[in-house]
Structure 1
């Protein structure tokens, strides 16, 4: 596990984009697992800028997003389909047929989860998975106590997650209560993982992920067992990490 601490949210995005860009340069037909939310936006902006300035080529890249709200159509401005188009895909030269997200409108979520897993397998699995982390240490929409063996599945969102996501909606009552998400097993099968976190409100979750017991009560803690993880933080998100951990951190000015 590598821990990279940056001075700012913007620098966090630059460091994450550098890793993603390096993956694409080394393997132009990379399969990327992508995340939504405010945390990775700076990374997406940087990747789009590199595409525009030096021609970082996404034409052979395939992407699989972590999750989607259940019951939300792709053209809804609050959907993760819409988020990815607005914040990333329309700014790069990725092919629409190589972009995949779970279908939150599917009639049968069990069958949809199975379909999504088969799609990932058909593309050879995920080379690099990008993650954020929730205040309760969830990754994807895998809330505390979700089984580590879970693959893509329907999840009921915790009240803490609903409250946190309400900032994107007109009111908390508008936030969907269910989502479909890649499971922990799916995430752990990725060849490489990067986890991003910024802000003091994520510090406790980061501590649990890095220093806590490996337990379903803190889903991100399972990353301690992954063979290749980079955790990229701003100073506030890293503020609770102990000095013993800080001794192996890479600090970016």
Structure 2
């Protein structure tokens, strides 16, 4: 693990977005693994700004997303389909056929999992962007998820639903299940960039970096990956040093 502690969220966003832009310019047909939630929004804003100013070309880039809520209409403003289009895809020249998200509205969810596993076999991320939950989840892989897991349906823990409640009108509206890339899928990425902001992530960050590798803290498996960079603001890094 390479750990980078920067003195502001803005500097983290700038640094990580520069890595992604460089990659896109050098690897025209590369695969970007993308995340949702509040953490990567600043990075996506920087990618959009660069595309508008410099015409960075995404026409052959393929994208893979980590997860999606189950039984939330894809046009709902808080679906990850809507999130990605609103914050990134609508503003760059990525082709719709090159955008991949798991389908949480499939009647046969087992088939949806298998289908997305097949997509991932043919679109292994060159770079996977990750956040980390306060409970150490990556993607929607909650504590206790097997390190051997592939795409699966997960029951969201109360902590995760509470963390996401701010995006919904009420706690009752927060979905209880999600479809997510498994730990094994995430570990198949060639390079992983994990980002964390804020003191509320500091304990999970500490355990991820310094704790034992355990399924009780899914992000701890990243200790076993040979190409992981972690970008933190000072608050998220506060327990490391």
Task: State the TM-score, normalizing by the size of structure 1.
Answer: 0.93
- 2:118 alignment counterpart: 118
Q: Which runs of 5+ in 1 are unaligned?
A: 243-253
Tell me the residue number matched to 2:97. Answer: 97
**Residue pairs, 1:1-253, within 5 angstroms:** 1-123=1-123, 125-242=124-241
How many residues in Structure 1 have an aligned counterpart in Structure 2? Answer: 241
Measure the CA separation in 2 of the matches of 1:22 and 1:215: 34
The separation in 2 between residues aligned to 1:81 and 1:64, in whole angstroms, is: 11
Structure 2 residue runs without a partner (length 5+): none
Structure 1 moving runs of 4+ over 4 Å: none
Residue 121 of structure 1: how far off its partner (Å): 1.6
CA RMSD of superposed structures (Å): 0.8
Tell me the CA shift for residue 26 of structure 1: 2.1
Quick check: 2:34–2:65 contact (8 Å CA) kept in 1?
yes
Aligned equivalents of 1:37, 1:84: Cα separation in 2:
10
Cα distance in 1 for residues equivalent to 2:120 and 2:176: 26
Task: Verify the 8 A CA contact 2:120 2:185 in the aligned structure 1.
Answer: no
> For 2:146, what is the secondary structure of its paired residue?
coil
What's the CA shift string for 1:114-151, capped at 9, x where partnerless? 1111112223x111100000000100000000000000
Asked if the contact 2:198–2:235 (Cα under 8 Å) also holds between the matched residues in 1, the reply is yes
Query: 1: CA distance between counterparts of 2:23 and 2:120?
Result: 18
TM-score after normalising by structure 2: 0.98
